[in-house]
Amino acid sequence: MLKTAVSRILQIKPVQCVSRANSVRNINLIPMVVEQTGRGERAYDIFSRLLKERIICLMGNITDDISSTVVAQLLFLQSENVNKPIHLYINSPGGVVTAGLAIYDTMQYVKPPIATWCVGQACSMGSLLLAAGAPGMRYSLPNARIMIHQPSGGAQGQATDILIHAEEIIKIKRQLTNIYVKHAKNTYEEMCGRMERDHFMTPEEAKVLGIIDHVLEHPPETVSETGPASDGGVTSGKAVPEECEKKRSKQAA
């Protein structure tokens, strides 16, 4: 018994050390931002500082922990201001369906409009959250990739249990397809056919399918509270001359 207990302790300790080392390493990778205030200097981690600007970063796999954090941030920003937009930046390969749906439902629940931005990739549940942004406020950078597909999973146990799980994942497939149809303004048959296998898209292809609204190469010079004004194409960031003349005439008046 003693040898068994010792061996178990020896097996557990290295795992704890590795997890602690990884957590310390991840903390060190997060930049700190120092601000000068009337009371002196104040330091923020970069994500907390971005949150002050109503920017949420959804990076990496969508897990229950990540979902809880994003949901809490959405609810907090709603309590701060119910009208000012929230900007959700997505760089995710996907993740747990229930965790992603928790974020999705919260996005639909809160009152502020939510602009979604794809940087890097938005695959699987990441693409669903990208499509769930407010109409006209779904963006992607030009070299990002977007992928949609049907949910995947596995089951084991008795035949009846496996059948129950199989029926459930088919229900989830229909549910996710209907969400894409709702936001992409596309037909159920079209989306179901695209989702039958991994369907990778460029931002322009995703725009045609209705997953996003705009492809941006550069930030526009003027950003309203509802996002950059664009005709839906690639935005260069240069001001439109007619708009500049209107602004000048208003200022002169």
Q: Active-site residues: which are they?
A: 124, 149
Burial class from Cβ neighbours inside 10 Å (0-12, 13-18, 19+) for residue 140 reads buried
Contact 150, 175 (CB under 8 A): no
User: Measured between alpha carbons, how far is 219 from 230 in angstroms, rounded to an integer?
Assistant: 11
User: Measured between alpha carbons, how far is 149 from 125 in angstroms, rounded to an integer?
Assistant: 9
Give, in degrees to the nearest 5, the angle at Cα 64 between 143 and 194: 45
Contact 146, 200 (CB under 8 A): yes
Query: Count of CB atoms within 10 A of residue 106's CB?
Result: 18
DSSP SS3 for 111: coil
Token pair in block for residue 245:
């003349």
Amino acid symbol at 46: I
Token pair in block for residue 185:
């303004």
User: Measured between alpha carbons, how far is 107 from 56 in angstroms, rounded to an integer?
Assistant: 12
User: Measured between alpha carbons, how far is 173 from 158 in angstroms, rounded to an integer?
Assistant: 23
- Taking CA atoms, 216 is separated from 74, 212, 219, 232, in Å, by 24, 11, 7, 9
**E strand or H helix at 145:** strand 145-148
User: Measured between alpha carbons, how far is 148 from 125 in angstroms, rounded to an integer?
Assistant: 8
